[in-house]
Structure 1
């Protein structure tokens, strides 16, 4: 890393990828089952997915969607709309790397549905929630704009209040990546840049943080009082939820949980990733969100080197597939995103100059 900003951008990308890959083998497990099997899971394991390569350290659809969005941003030299993101998905998306909701959206796009409305009626899936972090990166220091852009992109794959929760993640990253950001400023930003159900969910989760002295106590509170039972739409059976036979992959659960774990772990990025994964349920989503925000706050330099090297190595084939470049990886994408931030800076300077002229004011 040559600059602190690059360190934070890379930390966001690689931290999210590590949390994703670490959590994939125990997706859908309860915390109790993870503890019984591993004690504390903090090593990459083999896992099952429909596509062939699921070796330890391989990322899932959460990270794949994030990298597709990164590609849309860097190829367009800045902030994107659903139109540009749809172009990348139609041209590059491998359906074997994503879940059914993204497959459905791809079919909608291929059939000519307006990308700005493609998320209507979608399953309340969290893949774009995990993927939205580059929107926060490109809007570094401007959480309000990050929220608006995040909501717009989320509308391509989500509906209803799930879009707001996704946009809130973008706002949080836009704050986390700035030099003077703190956990408190990230939490405050995400509550301010949210609405309705999302703001309330985060507020409840942070109340649990105040009650808990340990992560185990925090998770017990979540499991007892906070689990999102509205999805999947199966006949309600509390015992099945308790046993982990069914679980919600809803953004309205994973966003507050990831933020609460970040807070209780005081931003220690390695601990945040581990505890996010060991929360269980949608473990890769919690791990990837927690790792993304903590990585943006603390930088890649604070993340375990063995995790970074393994995750980079095990996903080389994905980057070749994505970009056609054997040298592409999470680090090179971070460098390209920093270049985009420079473009955003230059455009902002040009607009400031035009507004000065419009107001008839001279620069002193």
Structure 2
């Protein structure tokens, strides 16, 4: 059965190491994915660092899968008893139809694409991923394995349970060896919480798969060959290539050749994180997938403290995702790891210490605690003078807990300034490419409050002073806005700084943080070192703003990927111009979303003009593609209230004469289980619901081939 970890420091070091290791591995292999061993050797020789570096790493399916599959355990409030169909529904909830998240290589070619279409057509899991439905060439590709890290991370020290849930999730899209690979990876990661012995870790993975499977046959032959070749991993790879290479298997990216590379790297890497992931990268084939899985295994085995610091600056403790819920596409590794730990605690009824108990009680993604070693929560720094400013995690100071963020300006002149900030929104210019087509909704909005604690440090014979000015950057006007209040930060004491972003404005918050001016206490003209600590940064959500949709800039990722800013979408066509936001679709509901997934009670007003078709909706308490509420104009001259549970169900319908080309203002007040609707200032619904989604963002959409123009919206959170 395995042994359940306790939520102590050792556990958190291993957990964070696993998530960071996964991200490092994916980035390491991303830009040479699909390259053969020979091309990699000719191009790079010996790989010891990322072959390619990025401004910020864009989204990738290998990271999307573990992040969002894990959410099923929270959304359905379950553990290992969760069903295949619930896991399938969770996938439909967060995956956009035909874009983002996965490789959409075509039905019968891409395993995930095939299973997604099967599920939409009514084929239930696990039939959706079965060989009987899709054939072995599709069902035994690599995807079942590459997304399964999360199950080992959420079931620490319980390899059998980790493997069982991994098998359920993998069966939604895969079968046979595709499932066995998922079980192997999940069990290895789970076992790595308990031991550093690599043979024991590998044996835990092999113990959960059938001994008569092709996966087991491959392992039985590859393991002794690798052990017999000592440090000569290339000799082992030539064996793998000859006997278990792509030429022996069907499909575009079969699981067996890549699983052989994983075993090879586990053995020849000898437990060293860098050596292991570098060997796998030099082998080639599906590099980001293989190296990502290995990064998770070795990250857990060794913990974050044993990962060479050279790998970390490229990450910024930031994860870009590409789900259909834009609010969740901007996260930090710290956030994801804490979320995972919280689920583990719920499953096993485990109580963390006071530090982590406080973290678990806070809203996901809104609390920057820095308690994971090396964590910086995606914080950034920029010098006004172009000087180098250093960010690091430290135990030197902490307002609460053990860690804080340390900011060092080594070459400071009197009057120098810099920006310390968080990015709650990203634009295409922040990335080098648009892999897996991300879209973002901000994680901070006008009206929100920001609270943080800052502290300076004594510098020689006299304390330095730092003037702290809160600021934000607006994406629409592309300008910095400085807030009037400021704090004179004196050394050696923590200062609470709290400010509110202005209400009511049409703004997309792209940066939020502090503009800091360094003033030396003395009269010396020499440079000095300025040191600042930041801790307990928290976003207190009180959104209150209006958005004129005609002012939305277009995010131009590439010629085929152009989207109106601050929106993500399920399906359909979105256009923004001087007339507002146009949404249209074909047979299935066209929907787009914005706002905070954690919004609960709010007043939401939107103006729309029906252009074509019979259904024109505004959406509220949206939790994804299969869970939301909607109200809108409908056929037979009616207005309807819907609840979406995979499909829209009509909750209430009232007669209402409407016509094309005429604007209609919808005002919805949702508070707890009460829903009240006004249309053009006339009350139409005032319903108390027995079953409601307790939280969710907002959106716009239609159905039955309709087209709708949306003019503006206004949102105000309620107490």
- 1:210 aligned residue (227, 230, 247): 227
Residue 3 of structure 1 corresponds to 9
Please report how far the alpha carbon of residue 85 of structure 1 lies from its aligned counterpart in structure 2 after TM superposition. Answer: 2.4
Alpha-carbon distance between aligned partners in 2 of 1:150 and 1:266, rounded to the nearest angstrom: 26
1:1-364 mapped onto 2 (5 Å cutoff): 3-41=9-47, 42-45=49-52, 57-77=57-77, 78-79=79-80, 80-94=82-96, 95-99=99-103, 100-121=110-131, 122=134, 123=138, 124-178=140-194, 180-195=195-210, 196=212, 197-213=214-230, 214-233=232-251, 249-312=253-316, 315-316=319-320, 318=321, 324=327, 328-346=331-349
In the alignment of these two chains, the number of paired residues is 324
Please report how far the alpha carbon of residue 327 of structure 1 lies from its aligned counterpart in structure 2 after TM superposition. Answer: 6.6
Alpha-carbon distance between aligned partners in 1 of 2:222 and 2:18, rounded to the nearest angstrom: 22
Greater displacement, 154-163 / 90-99: 90-99
Distance change in 2, residues 1:323/1:202 (3 Å)? farther
Distance change in 2, residues 1:186/1:84 (3 Å)? same
Q: Confirm or deny: 8 A CA contact 1:14 1:330 kept in the other structure.
A: yes
Alpha-carbon distance between aligned partners in 2 of 1:103 and 1:175, rounded to the nearest angstrom: 31
Q: Confirm or deny: 8 A CA contact 1:165 1:255 kept in the other structure.
A: yes
Distance change in 2, residues 1:218/1:230 (3 Å)? closer
Distance change in 2, residues 1:160/1:232 (3 Å)? same
Q: Which has the higher contact order (CA 8 A, sep 6+)?
A: 1
- Greater Rg over alpha carbons, structure: 2
User: Could you state the TM-score of these two structures normalised by the residue count of structure 1?
Assistant: 0.80
Aligned alpha-carbon RMSD (Å): 2.6
Distance change in 2, residues 1:163/1:327 (3 Å)? closer
Residue 681 of structure 2 corresponds to none
User: Secondary structure of the equivalent of 2:349?
Assistant: helix
User: Secondary structure of the equivalent of 1:114?
Assistant: coil
Alpha-carbon distance between aligned partners in 1 of 2:233 and 2:217, rounded to the nearest angstrom: 21
> CA offsets per residue over residues 289-331 of structure 1, 9 Å max, x none?
2111111111122223343342346634x27965715872222
Alpha-carbon distance between aligned partners in 2 of 1:229 and 1:55, rounded to the nearest angstrom: 37
Judging by fraction of residues, say which structure has more helix: 1
Q: After TM superposition, which residue ranges in structure 1, 4 or more long, deviate above 6 angstroms?
A: none
Q: Confirm or deny: 8 A CA contact 1:44 1:57 kept in the other structure.
A: no
Alpha-carbon distance between aligned partners in 1 of 2:153 and 2:61, rounded to the nearest angstrom: 20
User: Could you state the TM-score of these two structures normalised by the residue count of structure 2?
Assistant: 0.42
Structure 2 unmatched ranges of 5 or more:
1-6, 104-109, 351-719
Alpha-carbon distance between aligned partners in 2 of 1:135 and 1:337, rounded to the nearest angstrom: 10
User: Secondary structure of the equivalent of 2:172?
Assistant: coil
Structure 1 unmatched ranges of 5 or more:
47-53, 234-247, 348-364
Q: Confirm or deny: 8 A CA contact 1:13 1:292 kept in the other structure.
A: yes
Q: Confirm or deny: 8 A CA contact 1:21 1:56 kept in the other structure.
A: no
Q: Confirm or deny: 8 A CA contact 1:261 1:275 kept in the other structure.
A: yes
